[in-house]
Amino acid sequence: MGMLGCMPDPSLTPDWPASVHPPGSDSFEQTALEWLFDHVPADYRLHGVLRRHPVALSRLARQYASAALEAAREGYRTARVDLRDHLPPHALDQVMNAYLEEGRRAAGSLRSIEAVDGALRTAGNETAP
């Protein structure tokens, strides 16, 4: 493999998932599909239309990740009041930290899904008649 094969694609953002091949490569859509299916509930795999139309899957994944991020934010905002009578203070602090970590993870996933979604939409426009 030459030097060129080792060079990162400059068009890919830091949020681009490592397992998704760059847009324009023969395996881009397939690797995007596999990665996106790993970021949504398993039952999404039952819908053939999502496999046939990756941009439909990326849209659903974007909505799913966005809802997960909002749920983490809402949980963080309301947990202290909701749980203060049920948990000791140290446990409540740990719950708050869990919400923070999940919020960060969900935000990162959403950014990566948005990057893949944008690339799928661009690729779809280039191949449209």
HEC sequence for the chain: CCHHHHCCCCCCCCCCCCCCCCCCCCCHHHHHHHHHHCCCCHHHHHCHHHHHCHHHHHHHHHHHHHHHHHHHHHHHHHHHHHHCCCCCHHHHHHHHHHHHHHHHHHHHHHHHHHHHHHHHHHHHHHHCC
Residues 6+ apart with CB under 8 A from 11: 22, 23
pTM: 0.84
Interval 100-117: pLDDT, tens: 999 999 999 999 999 999
Q: What is the pLDDT of residue 123?
A: 86
Instruction: State yes or no: pLDDT of 5 exceeds 90.
Output: no
> Is it the case that residue 11 has pLDDT exceeding 70?
no
pLDDT digits (tens, 9 = 90+) for 32-64: 999 999 999 999 999 999 999 999 999 999 999
CB 71 within 8 A of CB 61: no
